[in-house]
A and B are shown apart, each in its own frame.
Chain A
Amino acid sequence: MAVGKSIIRKEAWDKVTGRAKYTNDFKEPGMLHASLVTSPYAHARILSLEARRALAAPGVHAVVVGEGLPLTGEDMRDRPPIAVDKVRYYGEVVAVVVADTLAQAEQAARLVRVVYEPLPAVGSPREALKKGAPLLHEHLDRYEKNKTTHPEPGTNVAHRTKIRKGNIEQGFAESDVIVETSVSFAPSDHIAMETRCATAEIWPDGTIHISASSQSPFMIKKLLHAYFGEETGKVIVHTPLVGGAYGGKAPVQLELLAYLASKAVGGRKVSVWNSREHDMVTSPVHIGLEATVKIGATKDGLFKAMEILFLFDGGAYSDKAIDVSRAAAVDCTGPYHVENVFCDSLCVYTNRPYATPFRSFGHCEQAFAIERAIDELAQELQLDPWEVRRKNAIHPGHTTPTQVRLTKSNVGNMPACLDRLRELMHWDEWQRVEVDAYTVRAKGIGAGWKTSTIDTDASSGVILTFNSDGSVNVISGVVEIGTGTKTVLAQIVAERLKMDVDQVHVKMDIDTQTTPEHWKTVASRGTFMAGRAALAAADDAIRQLKDIAACVLRASPDDLEVGFGRVFLRDDPAIFLPIKDIAYGYKFPNGNAIGGQVIGHGHYILRRLTPLDPKTGAGKPGPEWGVCAEGVEIEFNRRDYTYRIVKAYAVIDAGKVLNPKAALGQAMGAMSMGLSFASREGFLFDKEQRVLNPQLRTYRPIRFGEHPEYIVEFVETPQIDAPYGARGIGEHGLIAMPAALANALSLAAGVPLNKLPLVPELIWRTQKGDSYGSV
């Protein structure tokens, strides 16, 4: 009825009329505003901080500094919410000024005098690992951490994940050829159009009211408890619509500042809202990577061994970067069967903005390394790169790098995705053609897979309340960050209750006091987990409706069906009760009543997941692996090294497409983000690791008219315990895009392009060699 249709998103008209409200749209008289004072150095000792003049400025209520605050961090507590003694990245917060207006706060922020003593800054993971490199965290051994985090004190290694599968020496011994490829790219940013914002207010009774543009409203409660001892029951988080997130709003940062600022002004409401510049560098960024991949293979391209080193640029603090580095390790080989795997994935401290999840959670990053290596292997062996991928494609019966046995349900159909991609791209017709003296057209492909690497006890709940007109309200903790998940939940509920989806209303805003928890809106797990919870809630409601109707209709509940706004006898639908007559209980003609408002509830918790074994990585990180095959076609100008992305393709195993247009939008949007990242995004650092381009004028995401033609298709291999078989699709469009673009351009330019972003200058430099002059 509703599943499989392109239902218009529930909040669509709010969004095209300006009615849709985001965190920073809620203003009230008397609310105070904060401005952040940030570090102009990437690594420096703070010698003194003088706030007297700022405090005396008009409208200023407080200047909050870092002394005495607990350390924070989700996996390891290494980050002061406001820097003390030392700053470790350009843009790090050193003070928060609170004033009546934003203008006053900003003016006063300029009056805070901080004296720094610059320290040598560490600029990349490889540099950070060199002997004698400056240490970012001298007391790495003292930090509180969870059991799954393994820092290496005395170094800049925040965490190391080890994957040991099979026998790597034997694998290489059985190989006819071994190819080694190194890739790298600097940190970049999510650039959600809504910059992050948080407000906090502490009421006289001690309740803490936070509003936040966040993917993790429920985590904010937990962390305020963990860091500051606040009772989770007294923390109430409100999250309205979120203006784009892509992983960047999963970490908790400004919320802590808003809370501290409110505390400093007697609990008054304070708003902390990022300028674009702060949002890009002060708040967490998209992780950078330096990687080396060694593939051993037979002459005909069969993989025998992979040795992989991922050096993730976690920046100054580990926070969620640890998890990202782990997630990349979990799926380190890409969607291929490799019996012998040796992978070390390190989260390395550098003096750069600290990193956090970016859509695909470590996977577009690792895929860039693996897929470039596969193309180089194919070239070495003079084999078709598509053939090499097809020959090694993962399928049920194989095991993953963390030794999970794959089934027909828990992995998508990789061969089918590759086969369809080959047809769509007319791969066999040509892969490189010279159109004229300067113009070359070329195609490149890549493949990807992903499971979620989230907490093993992550759960999701849904409540369904009925209205007296028989319609239903869906209340779920999934944040509407733009993915349309809440509309899909309405479809799932409508399908189960066999009712019109227009009769299913969705509560968009989150209020953690009244909304059941959804762990975090991340990892493409919204539809799966909240969908399962919604099905359970619908079943619960159906049971209640049947119980009431059974009494009235004098029939066993077993003989009743719910659908089309009625509860009816299965063998004679003419005998029925309208749902609206029982949604609030049933009143008999004589005034007696039974039942009460029908309130269905359901929950879902991930099952049988385990942490990774610290020595081998063995363990089950997620419930299923979605797969995708992707490609791009480019037109490259050999004279000026510019290029145009002509077409971009993706074939994604969606399990089941629940909302075709929404699914296409997710896939195409992710592809666009991947192409933008790969072709033009990345922070530029000077030698002191200061970010030179924290503005949208100098950091320029893809714009209208620069977009290629997008061609997307879905394969449907159901995940049998997911709602209607649906797999996560919010991230897969991105995974192989950077690699596919690099593969196409490498073929066009005739040189291996193993760095991002793939700007013309990079291609020129790679072709001419580094010594060929400078600009």
Chain B
Amino acid sequence: MEETTKRELVLSINGERRSIVARQSETLLFVLRDGLGLTGAKPGCLNGDCGACTVLVDGTPIKSCMMLAIETVDKDITTIEGLDDAPIQHAFVRHFAFQCGYCTPGFIMNAHALIERRPNADEATIQEWLESNICRCTSYQEIEAAVKEVLEAKKAKPTDP
């Protein structure tokens, strides 16, 4: 039944070309996790409500449970595994902005995109971006401190990568 709907997909993930055979109805999240072993993106609701599966597609944070893998062909996908020593990772560690760590990859990817895309984000913008992820352990105050610290640092040194 399924075999006929499977096809090979070549995806560009974290700067590498990865080839995978998947059902056409498979979500990006499923393919990343079960097909490619990239388990950093987490399933939390499979309904786009919690944000734990957030990855970047052409730099835009996307809930990977809401996108088919097939839609990402020819697009650049960045997962938490592809984030290389980003300032937001350091800030999360410094500010104790996670506890159990399950929502963390999604939160970090979303926050990273915010910092890259909206370095001058005001309060309302920060909230609009980050309210799409749920964290159940922290109070969000720690995450807020981490994100704002990186935004401030970026403003102070705008040429810094």
Contact = CB atoms under 8 A, between A and B. Distances in A.
A, B in one complex: yes
Which 5 residue pairs across A and B have the least CB separation, nearest first?
Answer: A18-B40, A482-B100, A243-B102, A15-B101, A705-B127
Interface in B33-89: 33-34, 37-47, 49-50, 52, 79-81, 83, 89
Given A193-B134, A194-B42, A276-B45, A16 B92 contact: yes
A668 B130 CA distance: 19
Interface string A272-296: 0001100000000000000000000
B136 A673 contact: yes
B136 A18 contact: no
Question: Binding site of A, secondary structure by majority: helix, strand, loop or mixed?
Answer: loop
B101 A707 contact: no
B39 A194 contact: no
A706 B123 CA distance: 12
Interface in B85-134: 89, 92-94, 96, 98-105, 108, 126-127, 130-131, 133-134
Contact of A276 (B46, B108, B135, B139): B46
Contact of A482 (B93, B94, B137): B137
B142 interface: yes
Nearest to B141: A710
Contacts of A15: 98, 101, 104
Given A27-B34, A58-B2, A193-B102, A18 B138 contact: no
Contacts of A662: 96
B156 interface: no
Contacts of A754: none
Contacts of B149: none
A18 B131 contact: no
B143 interface: yes
Contacts of B98: 15-16
B99 A484 contact: yes
Contacts, number: 165
Contacts of B94: 8
Contacts of B99: 244, 482-484, 665-666, 669
A121 B142 CA distance: 44
A241 interface: yes
A704 B140 contact: yes
A695 B45 contact: yes
A481 B140 contact: no
8 contacts: A195-B43, A243-B101, A244-B102, A661-B96, A665-B139, A696-B44, A705-B127, A705-B131
Given A21-B39, A665-B139, 11 more contacts: A8-B93, A9-B96, A15-B101, A18-B41, A27-B33, A192-B136, A243-B42, A246-B136, A664-B96, A697-B47, A707-B141
Contact of A704 (B50, B81, B131): B131
A356 B46 CA distance: 25
A665 B142 contact: yes
Interface in A25-58: 25, 27, 58
Contacts of B104: 15-16, 20
A673 to B, nearest CB: 7
A703 B136 CA distance: 9
Nearest to B1: A58
A14 B105 CA distance: 10
Chain A interface size, under 10 / 10 to 19 / 20 to 34 / 35 or more: 35 or more
Contact of A12 (B93, B126, B127): B93
Interface string A466-497: 00000000000000011110000000000000
Question: Binding site of B, secondary structure by majority: helix, strand, loop or mixed?
Answer: loop
A701 B139 CA distance: 12
Nearest to A20: B101
Contact of A695 (B41, B49, B101): B49
Given A16-B104, A705-B127, A25 B96 contact: no
Nearest to A192: B136
A18 B130 contact: no
A190 B136 CA distance: 9
Contacts of A241: 100-101
A709 B46 CA distance: 31
Given A16-B92, A704-B131, A672 B101 contact: no
- Give the residue among B37, B127, B138 with the most A Cβ atoms within 10 A: B138
Contact of A16 (B79, B108, B130): B108
A608 to B, nearest CB: 33
A191 B47 contact: no
- Give the residue among B49, B99, B103, B127 with the most A Cβ atoms within 10 A: B99
Contacts of B40: 17-19
Interface string A678-700: 00000000000000000111000
Interface of B: 1-2, 23, 33-34, 37-47, 49-50, 52, 79-81, 83, 89, 92-94, 96, 98-105, 108, 126-127, 130-131, 133-144
A244 B136 contact: yes
Nearest to B80: A18
Contacts of B140: 672, 702-707
Contacts of B83: 17-18
B131 A669 contact: no
A194 B102 contact: yes
Contacts of B142: 665, 668
B96 A22 contact: no
Nearest to A273: B43
B100 A696 contact: no
Nearest to A662: B96
- Give the residue among B33, B42, B101, B134 with the most A Cβ atoms within 10 A: B101
A133 B105 CA distance: 49
B139 A669 contact: yes
Contacts of A243: 42, 100-102
B88 to A, nearest CB: 8
A669 B100 CA distance: 11
Given A11-B101, A194-B100, A695 B43 contact: no
Nearest to B103: A193
A345 B135 CA distance: 33
A24 B29 CA distance: 13
A668 B141 contact: yes
B102 A704 contact: no
Interface string A241-259: 1111110000000000000
Contact of A275 (B46, B133, B144): B46
A671 interface: yes
Contacts of B41: 18
- Give the residue among A193, A706, A710 with the most B Cβ atoms within 10 A: A193
A17 B81 contact: yes
B100 A16 contact: no
Nearest to A696: B49
Nearest to B89: A16
Contacts of B102: 22, 192-194, 243-244
Interface in A630-666: 661-662, 664-666
Contacts of B38: 18
B139 A193 contact: no
A193 B52 contact: yes
A103 interface: yes
A706 B143 CA distance: 13
A710 B96 CA distance: 15
- Give the residue among A18, A483, A662 with the most B Cβ atoms within 10 A: A18
A103 B31 CA distance: 13
Contacts of A203: none
A672 B137 CA distance: 8
Nearest to B94: A8
B141 A244 contact: no
A385 B131 CA distance: 36
A289 B100 CA distance: 28
Contacts of A13: 93
Contacts of A16: 80, 89, 92-93, 98, 101, 104, 108
Given A482-B99, A668-B142, A709-B141, A18 B79 contact: yes
B32 to A, nearest CB: 10
Contact of B89 (A17, A484, A697): A17
Interface string A188-207: 00111111000000000000
A695 B104 CA distance: 21
